[in-house]
Structure 1
Amino acid sequence: MGALVKLLRVGPKDAELPAVLDDEGRLRDLSGVMGGADLDGRFLADDGLDRVRAALESGDLPVLDAEGLRIGAPVARPGKVVCIGLNFRDHAEETGAAIPAEPVVFMKDSSTVVGPFDEVLVPRKSEKTDWEVELAVVIGKTARYLESREDALGVVAGYAISNDVSEREFQLERGGQWDKGKSCETFNPLGPWLVTADEVADPQSLGMRLWVNGEVRQNGGSKDMIFDVAEVIRYLSWFMVLEPGDVINTGTPAGVALGLPDHPYLREGDVMELEIDGLGRQRQTVGQA
């Protein structure tokens, strides 16, 4: 299996450095190993993970001082962000939607992807901005027309936490597809790490939690997905080509503002915290666009 690999990108926005956490929790600089490359689809497609493992095992990677360093999204410039809606039975029920017979697919603009601790902005004229903790899958190999579950899991580079922030009025009440309520700026915090697929023994056994202002809002697990990770990837590959660096958000459990009796949508100053077993933790303060 090799060394545990938790990839991340640190530094100012649009000037992040590739890095990796070693087994002792120290931050190691990958810039020298990668020769100017970033943690993106090309890196994943070119067996970059193998180079990172070899560098980690050599013990020669420089240690970075992590204090005060911003953490960016662990994947630079995803080609696309594909999302699965209503993929937890309890979430579909809380929103009054029918249980889907096939995966519900929509897209988010890839520019929505920001760091796991970056500010999330409530859009102008928004009254219904909502949260969604999700397991994100990062694709590591080109995939088309996959036949089996094994083939599907074989194209996964790794997993991360995703916050599929949503504006429910824009999504559901403005006469169009869901994309317009999903693609507002900052609407996809991702990270803090990309944990390689071989370090996640079972993507269907991960606890998923989200708090708003310290109050637990979501407390579920990936075991409750209607369509599991393997089926989501296999299914999508029959409708689009999945490329290295693409991100798939696989759905959220119950507990979103849309489904709660008082609909406590996000307001400026609110704080969201997200956690998935083994994948780290996020925290975002809500601002105003």
Structure 2
Amino acid sequence: MRFVRYNEDRLGLLTEDGSGVVDLTDRLGIDARDPLREYIRGDYDASEYADADPDHDRADVELGAPVRRPGKVIAAPLNYENHIEEALSDRDITTDEWFTIEDKGYFLKAPSSVVGPDHGVELPFSDRRTDHEIELAFVMGDDVKDVSADEAWDHIFGYTILLDISVRGDQDRSNRKSYDTFTVVGPCVVTPDEVGDPQDLEMELQLNGETRQRENTGDMVYTCADIVQYASIGATVEAGDVITTGTPEGVSALSDGDTIDAEIENVGSMTVDVTERDVRFEDVDVQKGGQE
């Protein structure tokens, strides 16, 4: 099944060809601002509607991030060998030496940075490089703590595409990757039975029609389950959390007016528009001291 959140707080299933949406909100009696998290945590079963006729054309609805506001967005840095080499040769990407999640751990992205594909990316600066990064991500289906990698697979609810938008610079990763709209998730969350082997999926990102990133998820340094295991050592990984797995080589700068097309085999595809806000720190009226 391919779960979507549409028109703000409606839960639905995307048809196999991506052209229609089957409404689940009324059929299942779900009343929640974050309906997929409610579905995951509740006693619901949408399987009987998997082959239902669509209630809406995809073009007539607005797709939001499948999980509106995850409790955590957990991200693995430098998880493809070719991107490690790319990052070390381009000091705009990282000033660190090579490291793994065992060395420095995962990083967190602000849940408020999460948007759906129809919202688009808003660049906050015109004078700083901001890159695209396509990643396979997944949504947790259970709360887990100190889980083994072998067991972690059983606790993944489904898989999705995530664009990790990244301002380059010396700031902490969680800072420069957490601006509003910098975590684009969608178009749907696909259950494992339809994805097949998540460590053998072709993915591609095109920028304005030109392929920039193309890779197989089998080239990850750490698997999806490895990342769950590592994350659960330090924190309880909760149902509805989004975990993302790193990007391959080919990252490049975004500009106002760009169009991103992202696709992952058996997961889906989405088109995301890029616009610019151009807000500079010196333009912000910073109040020092207490309020008057």
Q: What's the offset of the Cα at 1:29?
A: 0.8
CA deviation after TM superposition for structure 1 residue 152, in Å: 0.5
Question: 1:18 matched to which residue of 2?
Answer: 11
Q: CA RMSD in A?
A: 1.9
CA distances 1:230-265 after superposition (whole Å, capped 9, x unpaired): 1111111101111111000110001112xxxxxxx2
SS in 1 for 2:39: helix
Counterpart residue identity of residue 267, structure 1: S
Q: 1:268 to 1:152 in 2, by over 3 A?
A: same
- Paired position in structure 2 for 1:179: 174
The structural deviation recorded for 1:101 is 6.5
Aligned-pair identity (%): 35
| CA displacement at 1:40 relative to structure 2 | 3.3
Q: Alpha carbons of 1:211 and 1:46: their partners in 2 closer, same or farther (altered >3 Å)?
A: same
- 1:85 is matched with 77
AA of the residue aligned to 1:240: A
Cα distance in structure 2, aligned partners of 1:269 and 1:84: 29
Alignment pair present for 1:143 and 2:148 = no
Asked whether the 8 Å contact 2:15–2:54 carries over to 1, the reply is no
SS for the counterpart of 1:86 is coil
Q: Map of 1:50-65 to 2, 5 A cutoff?
A: 51-56=45-50, 59=52, 63-65=55-57
Q: Say if 1:101 and 1:121 are closer, same or farther in 2 by CA, change over 3 A.
A: closer
Q: Report how far residue 102 of structure 1 moved.
A: 2.1
Residues 1-289 of structure 1 aligned to structure 2 (within 5 Å): 5-11=1-7, 15-23=8-16, 26-32=20-26, 33-37=28-32, 38-48=34-44, 51-56=45-50, 59=52, 63-96=55-88, 97-100=97-100, 102=102, 104-124=105-125, 126-147=127-148, 149-169=149-169, 173-174=170-171, 177-257=172-252, 265-289=253-277
Q: Distance in 2 between matches of 1:199 and 1:62?
A: 19
Q: Distance in 1 between matches of 2:213 and 2:43?
A: 36
Distance 1:101 1:183 in 2: 19
> 5+ unaligned residues in a row in structure 1: which ranges?
258-264
CA deviation after TM superposition for structure 1 residue 197, in Å: 1.9
Cα drift, residue 164 of structure 1: 0.4
List per-residue Cα deviations over 1:153-207 (Å, max 9, x = no partner): 11100000000000012xxx24xx2111100010011010100122222110011
SS in 2 for 1:85: coil
Distance in structure 2 (CA, Å) of the matches to 1:87 and 1:194: 22
Question: Cα offset for 1:24?
Answer: 6.5
1:41 touches 1:243 (CA, 8 Å); kept in 2? no
TM-score with structure 1 setting the length: 0.86
Instruction: Find the aligned partners of 1:101 and 1:85 in 2 and give their Cα distance.
Output: 7
Change (3 A) 1:47 1:230: farther
How far did 1:273 drift? 1.1
Q: Residues 140 and 101 (structure 1 numbering): CA distance in 2 closer, same or farther, change over 3 Å? A: closer
Shift in CA distance, 184/45, structure 1 to aligned 2, threshold 3 Å: same
Q: Distance in 2 between matches of 1:66 and 1:275?
A: 17
Relative to structure 1, the CA distance from residue 89 to residue 24 in structure 2 (aligned partners, 3 Å threshold; closer, same or farther) is closer
For residue 161 of structure 1, what is the amino acid of its counterpart?
Answer: I
Q: Give the drift of 1:42.
A: 3.4
Displacement, 1:73?
0.9
Over 3 Å counting, the alpha-carbon distance change for 1:40 and 1:66 in structure 2 is closer
Q: What is the Cα deviation at residue 39 of structure 1?
A: 2.8
Bigger mean CA deviation after superposition, 132-141 or 194-203: 194-203
* Count of equivalent residues: 265
CA contact (8 A) 1:166 1:181 kept: yes
State whether residues 116 and 189 of structure 1, in contact with CA within 8 Å, keep that contact through their aligned partners in structure 2: yes
